[in-house]
Structure formats: structure tokens, C-alpha cells
Structure 1
């Protein structure tokens, strides 16, 4: 029955003094399909004007969200009068959509903005990927809890809500860190859901370095390769990326990021962050390669990141001429 008509407050507009917005969201990723794809089960919302993703940090204004149907259609009702940006994100695709224009809602507005096309970040074809882009780390390996801490409410669902899972990493990897081999490893079994610190015997902590091993049959020297690092959450962490040389200067560093506190609060996602990293061609090898992901912060057990999705893309393919077509 919301928005209610019985509330006699100027701060709560009744339904007839609110507005609605509708349309259809499509996705265009030419490395997936040459045609647009319906953005099924996507999240579309109105929030205060800002940059793409700024709604995650907006807490003073009002937000109105809905999910699209199987055809990508959406309707948002009950919107308070005001100026908004329209934002959206699509499970299965990285990044965030923002409608170019500010939408003004007046009392009784019924706005149809038609078809919206989201073109997610894309450099070239996918060489390999780890995880599924849905802003959550739930698809990765979540270990059993210490029997002393088990909460029976979450034995079947919400395994990540068990207390003390951050300590299980050091138990599973007491001296050597996680190594994931593309084509052989299974991220649901071999990729720990959170890259946390390792507790040492003297009650101090050390940073961790995870490795991704992958094979390249050839190296295209025309342009840099692109690494997409989508994080589901981060807490007072710093993530560095190195290629084939574990002690070399990093090709990328996030700097200190995050105050999500997701690890300590038994969550599986916080603020979404996407980093697009250029991988220099000169550092790639024909044959075996290793990507090093180092989380350097090491003061507490709750510093670390949860990955949403990682993808390595090759250089963009040259456009064909009419003669070649």
C-alpha cells in the first residue's frame, strides 16, 4: 500500500504528489554479442545527481530502486519530487550505468525514457576470468567454521556469516599463499572468499600474495592488455599487481582503500570498486605467466579485500575494412 495516504505530514508526499519513471535497459558488449541484450534482473534506481556509483555513498537524500524483468523493462513508482540521476548495474557485466541527463520529477510525473543501452568496459576479448560479476564474493570458497564458533542458523544458508572465518585462511595456507591455475583450478573450491592477512605465532600479521598462473599461446604487441579487478569490498587494504616478477615494482596499486568492515561483520560484499589495469606487453611471456596480487596492509585480521570478478582481456581487435568483409 506504500506510499500511504493516511500520513498527515508535509514531509511525506502522498501517491498523487509523487511521480514514476519507466523504460527498458539493454546491454551492448560486442565481444559477447553484436546485438543488444536484455538486461534481465538488473538493478535500476534514482538517487541524488553525481558520478556513476556515487549512490553507494549517498545517505542524506532519497533513493528509489527496482529490478528489471526478463526483457529489461522497469518501472519505478512513488518517487518524491526532485532532481535525480538514473543509475543501473547488470549482473554478469562489470561497471555501472548512468543516464546522461538529470531527471526532474514533478508531482504526478509519468516519464518514459525509452531504451537505455549500457556498454560495459571492454578492451578486447576475454583471455580468462575468475568469478561472476555480481558484486558479491559468495561464489568463491567459503570454509567450514571452527566447531567452537558454529552458528546453526547458517549451516545451510549464509555460510559466510559464521564467526572467525578470517582465521581459517592461515590454517589452510600456513606458510604458502593461494595459487590459482587458470584452466585447472576451480574458483568455487580453490579461491578463498577473502584475501586477508595471515596471523603469525607472535600475534602479529603479515600481508599475503596470491598468484594467478595462466598460459599465453601468443603475445600481441600492438597494445597493452587489460586487467579488470572488480572488488566486492575492501577494508583498510592496499592491493598491488605485479606480472611475472614478484619483487618488481608493481604495475598498479590501489593505494589504501576501504572502510567497509565486511570481514569482521561476517558479510559478503560492501562498496563495489572497479579497477582497470594496463598490463604492459613487455612483461608478458609466450607460455607460462604469473600474476601476483599482494595485499600489503598487515595491522589487523580484518584488513583485506573480497574479489567480485577478475578478467584479463587481450588488445582490441582491428576493425575490418570493407574489402576484408
Structure 2
């Protein structure tokens, strides 16, 4: 009975099932059969306990990814690129494994009554459909609690009944680092990407690969550009205890934040309501400079505030990886998140979270 129930449920594959991916599993698991790709066999028991079916494979070893082809029409791509080069070779390997380069959409049309057909049609239809369907899909990108709107539970139920005739829908977790330094300006998703370091260039490479595959109609990607992620287990407490300095207020940079639980909800929401080729800022409403963020955390936990130093002093004293974040300043507009996805954040600001803890 359990095997039959799993077969009838829509299938979702999580690639890169770390902290955020594990937070996605319970959100997906009641209505979908969740698969999780891991490169560490010792994590299989942990993934099973969370409710996911583990698959052992490594994005750096293409031969280990053969089982991914046609496995799930919805993929949460949360894996970071490799640590060197400007090209994201891991995304290239994933696309090849999913069958994108060989026209996965054509093959998946013959899979019959399998997995996520209706959900794929709702989330991906505009990439391959005429104008009328584009309008219907656009109108469906509304809040499940809004009167007269098809709720998510109905979408998931329909997904298990309908055949898959569309390209796989990939939700890609990118980074707001693709914008580079914006001088503290407010920016929306139309801002041109100008990556300033190799890490951000690899993310741009991944986005471009997925966009090109979407333009060919063989996948449909929805992109979440993500700022700094925080949670109870992801706060800069060790840094504060160590006394690592921050920049003086006059030279400090604006940073952006999202709670890990809210991020998981956004990614799952994109799986059913994301528009193909569309970028969404997965950011809360905070407008904080980096030092202000550290001060707020320090005050909430009764720690000493970080000492302040000038930028010139920081260049001499701090690690280059930390300095790279201190060279970029921007504030994110999250209008699409609220108006298109109709996401209601549990923690609209860092202050809301700190008050709770």
C-alpha cells in the first residue's frame, strides 16, 4: 500500500539537501514523494528519517547521476557550484543527467500517468504554451488563502493524477551576490548581474545555463536569488564571541537577510507557482547595515558588540573571504515575492526573529 501511495504522489527531487533542503522536506512530504540526492552515503539514514528517499550521487561524478533522468518533474537545485573556475560544472552535469541536453521534454511525454503533470503544467506551462495558457498560468500565481484561488493542496492532488507532458521544472537557489556592489541602492530583479568575484560568476554561469535550457523548452527554471540566510543555528555568535570587528557606520555596507524556514517555504512555493525564467528575491523586509545586524544579535544574546574598524584597517586585518562581503552593498526590493508568489513571511525582519528567541 505504501509503495502504491508513493507511486501516485507527485515526485520532487532535492539536489543539495543541506540545512535548507532538510527544511523543505516536511513541507513537501505530506503531498509529494521526496527524493534527495546526497554525495555522502552516511546521510541516508538521516534523510529517510526525515521522510525523503535518499539517492547517492555526486555532481562532480557524472556517472553517478544516471538514475536522475526522468525521476522527478520537479527539482529543487540547492547545490552550490564547485569551488574553482568561472563555469558552474555541477549545474552542467545536473542538466545532462536530467536529460535536458538530449530533449528530456520529448521523452517525458511518454511516461504516462506518473508524477507531477498538472503541477508542471501550472508552473511551467508558459515556457511551452500559447498566449492563452500563459495568461491562465499568470493568473494562478496567487496566494492559496485568497478567495477563489486554487489552493496548493488541490494543485498537489491534481499533480498525482495528470500525465507529464512538459519539461522538468527546476527551482534554482542562486545568490544576490550576482549583482556585485550596488553602492547601497535599492534594487529589484531587473538589475543587471555584475558579479565581482569567482563565486558569484559561477552562480551567473548556472543561471545562464538554466535560462538557455528554458529557452530551448527542455526545462523550465524559476530562480530564487538569496541573500544571507540566518536561523537559530546560523547566527554569527562565534564571530561575536571571538570579537571579529565590523566596519565603522560611515563605511559599512547594507546586507540582506532571510530566515531559513521562510526560505524553505519560498522554494516550495516556487515549485508550484514559479514562472519559467523568472527571478525572485527571496529576501525579507530588513534594511540593515552589516554592523547593525551584528549589534542586534549581540544585544539579543547578551554578548559584547563587535568592535568597529575602518575599511583600511579591515583590508589589513580580516580574511579575504570575509572582506569580499564587506565590499558589496545593496538593498533588495521583494515586491515580486509578495505580489506574484503572495508569500507571507513568518519573520518579515531579523528583529521579529530576535524578539521571538
TM-score between both structures, scaled by the size of structure 2: 0.19
Structure ranking higher in helix proportion: 2
TM-score between both structures, scaled by the size of structure 1: 0.21
Structure ranking higher in strand proportion: 1
Larger radius of gyration: 1
